[in-house]
């Protein structure tokens, strides 16, 4: 597992080459719905904080990391209004400085 993997890793550490046999990640998020005047879609904002670490385990060249943290904001959008599909644009800032870390922008749905 990588500490910054797009599949469940800590946001903001996508370029950090820190892999190990076990990973633990915790997330906290607050979402806020923005009022819609047109009715074409729904918009919202999210603030989040992630924390996690990786243990070397039995992986060759595995790494045990300290707890790394990140904070960020996201723009949420659903089209048409009431849609079950949510588009999300996140901007994450790594609080713990490690080689290969930096501001990460992720578009997902």
Under a CB-based contact definition with an 8 Å cutoff, are residues 13 and 70 in contact? yes
pTM for this one? 0.83
Tokens of 21: 């046999």
More confident residue, 102 or 49: 49
Token pair of 100, please? 């290969």
* pLDDT band for position 88 (cuts 50, 70, 90): very high
CA distance 62 to 20: 4
Q: Is residue 41 a contact partner of residue 80, using CB atoms and an 8 Å limit?
A: yes
Count CB neighbours of 62 within 10 A: 16
More confident residue, 89 or 59: 89
pLDDT digits (tens, 9 = 90+) for 25-43: 999 999 999 887 777 889 9
Residue 105 to residue 73: CA distance in whole angstroms: 10
């Amino acid at each position: 597992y990588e500490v910054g993997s797009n599949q469940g890793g800590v946001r903001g550490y996508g370029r950090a080459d820190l892999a190990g046999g076990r990973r633990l990640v915790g997330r906290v998020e607050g979402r806020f719905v923005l009022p819609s005047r047109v009715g074409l879609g729904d918009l919202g904002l999210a603030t989040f904080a992630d924390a996690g670490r990786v243990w070397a385990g039995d992986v060759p060249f595995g790494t045990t990391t300290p707890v790394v943290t990140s904070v960020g904001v996201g723009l949420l959008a659903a089209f048409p209004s009431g849609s079950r599909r949510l588009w999300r644009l996140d901007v994450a800032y790594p609080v713990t400085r490690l080689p290969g870390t930096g501001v990460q922008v992720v578009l997902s749905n």
